[in-house]
Amino acid sequence: MRLRGTVIGALNLFRSDEGSMGDSDLAAAQALADVATIAILQHRVAMEAQSLNEQLNYALNSRIAIEQAKGVVAEQAGVGVDEAFRRLRNHARNHNRRLVEVAQDVVERELAAASLDPLRPS
């Protein structure tokens, strides 16, 4: 089974009679291979679309959590949102955590703005 010269799979055929296959058997075998190829390609496209959808969903939800956390930190610490973001990012780096995890902890009130690691002077 091929797509534009690239092998994407193989199809084994077995028969009960000895000898080579006739033209009608070869045509049927090619039709089976073509249908199987199309099915494999459609499955791949569907899986890639699902994966992309999940990645985009995660990115959107992560962004929402980070924006909410920036607002919480800005309010609790009395700083601007840019400073709040720097504090969140700094804390995540210092504790080897993903930014979205720290943001979710802040939003869920498991981590207070006062508990974030202080920024080092530049």
Which residues are paired to 63 by β-bridges? none
Please give the pLDDT value at position 1: 86
* CA gyration radius, the chain: 28
User: Could you give all domains of the chain from N- to C-terminal order, each with its CATH number?
Assistant: 2-115 (1.10.10.10)
For residues 38 and 3, is the Cβ–Cβ distance under 8 A?
no
Backbone φ, ψ for residue 26 (5° rounding): -65, -40
Residue 11's pLDDT band (cuts 50, 70, 90) = confident
Quick: pLDDT tens for 55-87. 999 999 999 999 999 999 999 999 999 999 999
3-to-50, 106, 121 alpha-carbon distances in Å = 22, 50, 58
Taking each helix axis from N to C end, the angle separating 99-107 and 23-77, rounded to the nearest 10 degrees, works out to 50
